[in-house]
Structure 1
């Protein structure tokens, strides 16, 4: 192994060390309660070392957000790869998102924080980096819709706009779950979620 390769491997190992510490603290304490000093202590490295690899806490957490979106994306691919019907793929993608929001709640919270955060809190270019990973998930659904339109299963709709509407609908529903003991008291939230997804797909279906 060359000196250059060894140094690159050491850098990757150090980044992993930092991310592992940040992930552990973030999932335990939450975004606002986690500081760079705490991450440095957990990783057993100096604060300066963290800033050598990441310019800010936001940049570090943006990496975890990307990690969460990649996990969500891979789960959607797995849920849809053996299906041929576009409506089934769309329904499976929705169910993956619902399950992800429950079983990977920490990642879901990070994703929600960064996708909703104003551009002003990010260093130049970082917001674009965050949005690119979000667009990857949106594009997955866009491709399903494009397939459906091409096969004649779906109406002649704008796949990009409908994919954004689809995710906005699901995202809003998931956050509405917090009202399960008030507004939604007595209702089965999963049934409401499924009803919304089925209704969305029904409105897309060509008659």
Structure 2
């Protein structure tokens, strides 16, 4: 490697570190206060970067919100995929794989409530501000990797007989119904916390674990 190449590599590394710092700052703000109330100057100040420099990386708040959403999903993917790709996971039945994935929602609720809040705020912001679908293509692809993993488990379960074969023609519906149920419940529990006195009577993680069991029991062969 020449000195020039090394210099360019160092610059790229600094640039990537700076981008990561910006997205971390944006994520922290957005997950705590929503997206609408946060200004680009807030992010720039927290990330210790000039506002002009921030706009060179991300021209609008819409853009930084989208990139933050992809960054957040990627972080979650990096956390779970090693287990999904392990030999222990591979030998499970389709229903067991699905049960394992559902269990991850409980862990997500316990360990990453900020992620759940952020995704709720981002989805609401994207709908309210009418972000064009073509701008969300890469974001959709990121979520699509999750659908691929879950759908693979569902299809395996139908084939190996661990999931009721009556769902053989409804794999996609089964994916959306189960995932939306778990994700929406996890988000509601994260956002509301103990808003009412009755909310404190049942542990949120226990509610999610029970929901997962109900869903698994409902599709079991």
Aligned length, in residue pairs: 206
**Change in 2 beyond 3 A, CA 1:143/1:115:** farther
Task: State the distance in 2 between where 1:22 and 1:111 align.
Answer: 13
| Contact 1:115-1:130 within 8 A present in 2 as well | no
Q: Does 1:98 align with 2:110?
A: no
Q: What is the CA distance between 1:175 and its match in structure 2? A: 3.6
Q: How far is 1:124 from its partner?
A: 6.1
1:163 corresponds in structure 2 to 175
Shift of 1:110: 1.5
Mapped pair 1:38 → 2:42: yes
Relative to structure 1, the CA distance from residue 170 to residue 28 in structure 2 (aligned partners, 3 Å threshold; closer, same or farther) is closer
| Residues 1:43 and 1:68: Cα distance change in structure 2 (over 3 Å) | closer
Task: State the alpha-carbon separation in 2 of the partners of residues 140 and 113 from structure 1.
Answer: 25
Residue among 198, 202, 207 paired with 2:217: 202
Answer with 140-149 or 67-76: which moved more: 67-76
5+ residue gaps, structure 1, are none
**Cα distance, 1:92 vs structure 2:** 1.9
For 2:66 and 2:106, the matched residues in 1 are separated by 22
* Higher deviation after alignment, 86-95 or 20-29: 20-29
Q: What TM-score comes out, normalization by structure 1 length? A: 0.81
Which deviates further from its counterpart, 121-130 or 163-172? Answer: 121-130
Higher deviation after alignment, 158-167 or 13-22: 13-22
Q: Deviations over 1:56-104 (max 9, x none)?
A: 1222122222222223333333444323222222122122122212321
Name the structure, 1 or 2, with higher relative contact order (CA <8 Å, separation 6+): 2
Matches for 1:60-71 after TM superposition, within 5 Å: 60-71=64-75
Q: How far off its partner does 1:203 sit?
A: 2.2
Task: After TM superposition, give the deviation of residue 159 of structure 1 in Å.
Answer: 2.2
Residues 133-144 of structure 1 mapped to structure 2, 5 A cutoff = 133-144=142-153
Residue of structure 2 aligned with 1:114, choices 110, 113, 122: 122
Contact 2:105/2:208, CA 8 A, preserved across alignment: no
Shift of 1:119: 7.2
